[in-house]
Structure 1
Amino acid sequence: MQKCTKEMPGPVSEKVDRSNDYDVVIIGGAFSGSASAILLKRRFPDLKVLIVEKSEVFDRKVGESTSEVSACFLTRVLKIGRHLSINHVDKHGLRMWFHREGNNCPSKVTELGPAFQGRLPTFQLNRLKLDTHLLDEAVELGCELVRPATIKDLELGGAGNNKITFKPNDGETREVTAGWVVDASGKASLVPRKLKIWKSNADMHPVNAMWSRFKNINDLDSEESVEAMGGVNTQVLAQRGFSTNHLMGYGWWSWIIPLDNGEVSVGITWDERIFTPPKDGSMSERLKEHLLKHPIGNLMFKDAVAVENDNRYYKGLPYYSEKIAGDGWTIAGDAAGFMDPLYSQGLDFCSHTVYTSYVLMRKHFNGECLKEEMMKRDGEYKRSYFYWFDAIYKNKYYYIGDAELMFVAYLLDISTYFIGPVRLVYEDQDTEFSKMPYDGPAGTVFAKFMRFYNSRLVRLAQKKIKVGKYGDKNLDHRFLSTNAFTPGPATLKLMFKGIKIWLWAEIRYAFVRPSMASEPSTMTPLPQAGDYKQA
């Protein structure tokens, strides 16, 4: 049964020594900064909040696809469901496409994904619209906004004694005092870098990404696509074109996300130990060259045109902050860390860090002692980060191109996600968003189970490579979940199905001794025996 914790608006406690200038200064006005401001001003209308945003206007950053947890945060906590339904695209699940090199027929590819649209809301976001909407709401609630402006200096002197120096692009440098500083600066991670608590995770997970946007796409639900794909599987009643579609290969995957204006966001993420993308040409040309090698990519993008000046490149995607809160400061969103975009869970962590920051400051401005809360928060983010990373992403790119193994991961990863984080946040938003996922006794048990099967799938990939069976089901198979994932016990059926397929693979390859050769073949989706390197 869902718990509803109603926080009535009210004044800041008289016990609080308030800063002369601002109670809270938020660095960054996009999703995490604006959401933090909205939550604070709804609870404490008299709070003096300043938002310092570096950009004059927002761009269309990635992070367009939501999962169920971040969608819960958007609809149940921020309560902007109407805006999402009117201005963004409903998501029809996560869909993956596999093939074998040398076979370019779209009707032969293996499809992995749901047969139906999910029962819980998820969205394909236009981040420019979303970030702008949230910032406008924060300003309407009474927050002061300075943009564009650059942070010049931070002095974190403790609650009530922080100093922020910033320079508006069209004005003089200003120095203000703040009771609290919220770092929502995104990948700039100003506070973690200043405090030297920012850490890269690229040594363990050396993944990079580049992306662009294209128009003139051939939609997967068009007559041409359906005919080319041989009528496709009639069990799938969802619209494939409105799914988050992933093209999968050995050491890489590409996302295809439909946007509200008819364009699509397209990117490739790869593990540099295994795969190297095309090197010649512009970023959009390199992306298109790569996409056209996949039957589904060729079907969709053969006539596609890149949107000019709309691309990005990030090397060394994963990083984290060892702490996300201290005396008078807190970190929210991508400033706290990032892991991997495969399951679109970047906004999940943003949602949790935004709300944990809000709860901490809510207690402070209620006049409560934060000593116990600070001890609780110390190290919480780092623990949760590595529980999640080890459980889902560590070395995953070694089996990401094998349809059979990824179907096991798909069933187990998503079912444990629904049984754990999704179920919990829908039952009690205030309690569950105020802590990090998997950071508790029950969560730790699930994380260890997930870490175990993830490591076994890596091992099975190694064995399949040894006997030349890697990708043996990448053609002429349909790995479909005909039962929808839900936060309830019905999802256990999908979990047990995943366990059954996993155990059968373990039996089939029980007596294979894995290959331990040096470098894998970087360009082929189907490595040969000896082409595996254990990380």
Structure 2
Amino acid sequence: MTRQTRVRIADLPAAKRAQLLEALKAKPAAETTGPNHYDVVIMGGGVAGLTLALHLRKVRPQLRLLVVERLEHPVPETTHKVGESTVEIAAHYLRDVLGLGEHLEQRQIRKFGLRMFFSNHDNTDITQRVELGSSVFPPHATYQLDRGRLENELGRLCVEQDVELVTGSRVQQIDLAAEGTQHRLRVSVGDEEREVSAGWVVDATGRNHLLQRKLGLQKEVGHAANAAWFRVGHPIDVSTWTDDADWQGRVEGRRELSTNHLMGPGYWVWLIRLASGSISIGIVADAKRHSFDEFNTLERALVWLAEHEPQCHAELRQHLDKVQDFRVMKDYSYSCDQVFDGNGRWCLTGESGIFLDPLYSPGLDLIAIGNSLVVDLVGRSLDGEDVTAAAAIHDSLFRRIAEIWLAIYENQYSLMGNATVMSSKVIWDTAFYWGVFGLLFFQDRFRRVATSPTVANDLARLTGVSNRVQAFFREWAGIEDRELEPRFVDLYSPLNFMVKLHGGMADELTDAQFAERFAANTRLFEQLAGQLISTVIETHGGRYEDDHVVAQIQAWQRDPLIGELVAAYRRDRRRNPTSEGWMVLGAGSATNHVSTIEEVTYA
């Protein structure tokens, strides 16, 4: 109802006003009863739609929920969908918010963190590559997922909890309603059709983009990359690629349980062990460096691997008879102009709205964050609140978070062949994820950011710092021409700030304590950025004979934000010393570790 309409109703005589209000009440009542009306219709029953249904059911047990899914259930366990690795936000959402801990521990694989092996010349000996990863399991568990197995479990739970899950069905037509009336959908199930009404409609159809296309919300991004992947019914294990005892002994866990990455100029290859006994292998490459046509069929992908990752190819060649599928995704990254509308009572979740990149596995994280905001809006709306403003705030926040995340990938694939720069970048990216996004999600603060001006201001400050540091990595790569000798870079236990940020996500914090912690993390990231920049400038400051290096250092020294970050580092480094080992700058560089965790404090 518009403001003008409300004003006209208020001007009516009391008797007429009462009569009209009774008529208005009667119409929605007729529309919101009966077997074909639902409080929420979720279009799409993949992981985004099914987790949202379970989340809504948990928070609002009386809701009438319909999930319309194109595929029949059960879906294939292994050769179903890509997206087989979780990090902390998604793991917390599945395990602790939705209660899937038993399934994850017994039917999936606990992940040994991410692990990267950077290219070294011909890539024929894994021991001659710089390895970045953890030597121990961090305390907050993450998982490798057979997606089909997970979605079958989610579907079973939905049915068990009286969510109406209609598989083998399609949404043929959507009529989004005006304010105060019900949305109409025409759904086909086999040869039959039915019409349903809904208070809220959520698009979880993934790349079908039903609402995004209908409403013209598509938004291109500046990140152009392609991917191909396949599953093999044999557990290929990077640890069997060498008998070197020293290499084998430098980590406590099994490397095959990590999300393993083979990194090279403009590309990375994933190897993800699955509980079904298969392994998922994927090629992801910058479109400017590696043409999609080079790896868009299985035969071409094998030739590409033989050229760029010959040791991986040699292992794979022994098991070609066990290849189970082959899929591709061209120009996979995109965004959206809007994902939540409180007045229109519609939302997008998962890949129906935004998809960024598979590196660091953000897809399920964005589902977790987005679903939590959807649940908040639907619940408040059904309580009678006008959520128009709240939806606008949630929408702006979600898309801002996605933009921060996108900057991690956009124009950054060129760095993947530079082990020196990428080692520091991966540690920075992981720390930022734990200390900002992870802390916000574990503490259930995304839906409340706008209610805390100090947190909102700190997030704005962190956005600027993050974007400047991502640009700094590119600038640094432009002058960093030394190769790292083979070594192991531990991204967790020797680094005091990493241990603190990881463990701190799940601390029990009051509102005041959370605001203090978020402010402390903001100062910490300013300090870490200043530490990185100061160290790089000091390392390259003596290269007076190289005009390009001199010009770059002078540009950094003139940059006001860089000046602020360096000043923050100099101000706080004695009060709050941070480990130096996250900056691996080649032979002769100082990489002294601050070994005691207690030296990092939250002021």
TM-score (norm 2): 0.74
Residue 291 of structure 1 corresponds to 305
Q: Which residue of 1 aligns with 2:202?
A: 182
Paired with 1:68 and 1:447, the residues of 2 have a C-alpha distance of 21
Aligned-partner Cα distance in 2 for 1:48–1:338: 29
Closer, same or farther: CA 345–120 of 1 in aligned 2, 3 Å? same
The answer as to whether partners of 2:294 and 2:301 remain within 8 angstroms in 1 is no
Matched residue type, 2:41: V
- C-alpha distance in 2, partners of 1:325/1:370? 10
Deviation at 1:136, TM superposition (A): 1.5
Q: 1:116 to 1:299 in 2, by over 3 A?
A: farther
| Partner Cα separation in structure 2 for residue 384 and residue 146 of structure 1 | 33
Which of 344, 351, 370 is equivalent to 1:334?
A: 351
Match of 2:367 in 1: 350
Note if 1:483 corresponds to 2:494. Answer: yes
User: Could you say which residue in structure 2 is the equivalent of 1:384?
Assistant: 401
1:303 equivalent to 2:318? Answer yes
Q: Aligned letter for 1:483? A: P
Task: Please name the residue that 2:224 is paired with.
Answer: 206
Q: Is 1:219 aligned with 2:237?
A: yes
CA distance in 1, matches of 2:366, 2:283: 21
**Shift in Å at residue 402 of structure 1?**
0.9
Task: State the distance in 1 between where 2:32 and 2:348 align.
Answer: 20
> Shift of residue 480 of structure 1?
1.9
- The answer to whether structure 1 residue 167 and structure 2 residue 188 are counterparts is yes
Deviation at 1:379, TM superposition (A): 3.0
Matched, 1:83 2:103: yes
After TM superposition, the structure 1 = structure 2 runs for residues 225-244 of structure 1, keeping only pairs within 5 Å, are 225-227=241-243, 229=244, 231-232=246-247, 234-244=249-259
Q: Deviations over 1:26-68 (max 9, x none)?
A: 1011111111111222333332211110111435211110010
CA shift for structure 1 position 129: 1.1
More helix by share: 2
Q: Distance in 1 between matches of 2:502 and 2:172?
A: 52
Which residue is equivalent to 2:390? 373
Comparing 206-215 with 41-50, greater Cα deviation is found at 41-50
d(CA) in 2 for partners of 1:290 and 1:434?
47
Give the direction of change, closer, same or farther, for the CA distance of 1:378–1:117 in structure 2 (3 Å limit): closer
Q: What SS does the corresponding residue of 1:393 show, helix, strand or coil?
A: coil
Change (3 A) 1:500 1:232: farther
Return the structure number with greater relative CO, CA threshold 8 A, min gap 6.
1
Deviation readout 1:294-336 (Å, 9 max, x if unpaired)? 2552464242326556221111111112111122211111111
Secondary structure of the residue aligned to 2:50 is helix
1:118 aligns with: 138
> Is residue 2:102 matched to residue 1:102?
no
Structure with more strand by fraction: 1
Mapped contact 1:333–1:353 kept (Cα < 8 A): yes
Per-residue deviation, residues 177-211 of structure 1 (Å, max 9, x unmatched): 1111111111212111110012122xx11111111
Counterpart CA distance in 1 for 2:159 and 2:118 is 46
Deviation per residue, 1:151-200 (Å, 9 max, x gap):
211111146421111211x2322222111111111121211111001212
Quickly say closer, same or farther: Cα 1:16–1:354, change in 2 above 3 A: farther
CA contact (8 A) 1:463 1:513 kept: no
Match of 1:52 in 2: 68
Q: Counterparts of 2:51 and 2:438 in 1: how far apart (Å)?
A: 20
Out of 406, 414, 420, the residue aligned to residue 398 of structure 1 is 414
Question: Distance between the aligned counterparts of 2:247 and 2:524, measured in 1?
Answer: 23
CA distance in 1, matches of 2:57, 2:215: 28
Aligned AA (2:224): P
Give RMSD over aligned pairs.
3.0
Partner residue in 2 for 1:19: 32
> Against the structure 1 CA distance between its residues 322 and 230, is the aligned structure 2 distance closer, same or farther, given a 3 Å change threshold?
same
Distance change (3 Å), C-alpha of 1:354 and 1:149: same
Match of 1:444 in 2: 460
Identity percentage over the alignment? 27
Distance 2:250 2:528 in 1: 18
Distance between the aligned counterparts of 1:435 and 1:303, measured in 2? 52
Write the distance in 2 (CA, Å) between the matches of 1:128 and 1:47: 27
Alignment match, 2:517? none
State the one-letter code of the partner of 1:213.
Answer: R
SS in 2 for 1:379: helix
Which structure 2 segments of 5+ residues have no match? 1-25, 505-520, 550-603
Q: Provide TM-score, normalisation by structure 1.
A: 0.83
